[in-house]
Amino acid sequence: MSFVTAITIVALLVLMNALYVSAEFAAVKSRKTRLVEMAAAGNTAAQRLLPLIMDGKPIDDYVAACQVGITVSSLTLGAYGQRVLAQGLAQPLAQILPDLGINVSPGVAAEALALSITIWVILLIITTLQVVIGELFPKSVAVQYPERVALATVTPMRLSLFLFRPLIWLFNGSGTALLKLMGIEHKEHGTVHSPEEIEILVTASTRGGLLEDEERQMLRNTLRLRDLTARQVMVHRTRLIAAPAESSVEDLLRLCIDEGYTRIPLYQESVDHIAGIVHVKDLFLLHTQGISDNQSIVRDVAYVPETMAIGEVWDTLRRTGQYMVIVFDEYGGTAGLITLEDLIEEIFGEFQDEFDREEDLFTEDTEGRYHLRGDLLIADVNEYLQLKLPEEEADTLSGLILSTLGRVPQAGEEVTVNGTTIRVEKMADLGVAEISIPRQMAQMERIPEWEAAADDA
């Protein structure tokens, strides 16, 4: 066999290794949604590729075929290079050893020394080619252009899956059996991500310019819903606008106008006994008819415990067709209420119409202090300002200060929690209405709804 032929075979084996390496990384890194779009648009390569890399057994077999191809090409390359190239170069090298200043007896001794040298030289060359051209380069290309590489390698991979089928069955079966013997559950390849991994992907996509800050925050808020309960989202009973059940239509209309609400809860004796709700549309209709009694328009209201997950609260609203639910505590009393708007704001952020008179969530004064409402969730403050305030003892900033001091604070009083100094700015009855913290203790993220408040300050 000529030396040129041997070099050609070595090059083909290196390229074969590169093919399987690139195919494996491309299959794992490819976005299935992108391939589905391409297949739907009529891309035949995508249509042929998708069934081969679907989650479960198909992708397991695909990766196994790549591994078989890599193993076969690597072993063949090493054996062939050592046997053919080293021996082919040994004889010419033996003849020039004296010219290189190496004194060795001609004949068998010279050929043995030359063979030893060429074996190590060929091993170094083949290893370099294998690592650089057969591994690193194709891997880098596949990671940068996964869909394009996966589509380009679909034809040889279909052939490989057919040729290697017995080996794939043998190796996959052996691996699964070994896992069972060791008591390890076999998990197939897949692209399922945990919520935490999705948050990492969202952050990386934002840094890469694929998502806007607003889009990132909406996605993060959506993922965070799974950790929230009704107690954390509700409007507390101390801020609840309600009226006695025996109130006249005129009084209820006046309350709706003064407070800017379209729905008013009605209670018997106290807010712990909500009897139902009335809608301003129904009130206006009765008013035009000269009817003062409201009993004919009282609507039923749904109740949820304060420990209910927000996802279940959403399901309750959707199932009952209600706009609001009453949240009750462990003693059966009213803890607060949640409206559909409250849930939407948990995803899209605070928004106000022309009738809202809500205070700003966040402002900044000229002294370099951030001012926050006392009813803000500690979890939100920690996320937006990069703080580490404890979330176990209380849900809101007001509750945190009360639980830390163990008494009702006074305006101007300061308390330090986990290295953050919090000053009480305003009180509302027995609760903390507003607090402030030094700017240097926080790292403000670019949160749209908070920035809007800061700009207006």
What is the rounded average pLDDT of the residues 368-373? 87
pLDDT in tens, 27-71: 888 888 888 888 888 899 999 998 888 877 788 889 899 999 999
pLDDT of 77 reads 86
Q: What ranges do the domains of the chain cover?
A: 3-181, 195-226, 228-348, 362-456
Rounded CA separation 314/325 (Å): 10
Indicate if the pLDDT at residue 428 is higher than 50.
yes
Task: Label each residue of 236-302 as H, E or C.
Answer: EHHHCCCEECCCCHHHHHHHHHHHCCCEEEEECCCCCCEEEEEEHHHHHHHHHCCCCCCHHHCECCE
Q: What is the pLDDT of residue 138?
A: 93
Out of 61-65, 114-118, 248-252, 278-282, least confident range: 114-118
pLDDT of residue 186: 62
Contact residues for 377 (Cβ-Cβ < 8 A; gap 6+): 232, 395, 396
What's the pLDDT score for residue 90? 59
The CA-CA-CA angle for residues 400, 430, 334, to 5°, reads 85
Instruction: Give kind and range of the element (H or E) at residue 446.
Output: none
pLDDT score at 455 = 39
How much is the pLDDT for 140?
93
Collapsed DSSP state (helix, strand, coil) of residue 327: strand
pLDDT at 284 over 70: yes
CATH class of the domain comprising 228-348: alpha beta
Q: Nearest-5° angle of CA 75, CA 81, CA 87?
A: 140
- Average pLDDT across the chain, whole number: 83
> How would residue 180 be classed by pLDDT, with cut points 50, 70 and 90?
confident
- 303 - beta bridge partners? 326
- Give the C-alpha separation, 166 to 354, whole Å: 71
pLDDT of amino acid 245? 93
Percent of the chain whose predicted confidence (pLDDT) is above 90: 31
Q: What are phi and psi of 352, to 5 degrees?
A: -130, 140
138 or 206, higher pLDDT: 138
- CATH 3.40.50.450 assigned to domain 362-456? The reply is no
Rounded Cα distance, 259 and 280, in Å: 12
Q: What are phi and psi of 303, to 5 degrees?
A: -120, 140
Which tens digit of pLDDT belongs to each residue from 5-14? 878 888 899 9
pLDDT in tens, 312-351: 999 999 999 899 999 998 888 999 999 998 898 888 877 6
Distance, in Å, from the CA atom of 281 to the CA atom of 264, rounded to the nearest integer, reads 11
Mean pLDDT of all residues in 103-116: 59
pLDDT, one tens digit per residue, over 387-427 is 888 888 788 888 899 988 888 899 989 998 888 889 999 88
Q: How far apart are the first and last CA of the chain?
A: 85
Window from 80-94, 168-182, 201-215, 222-236 with minimum mean pLDDT = 80-94
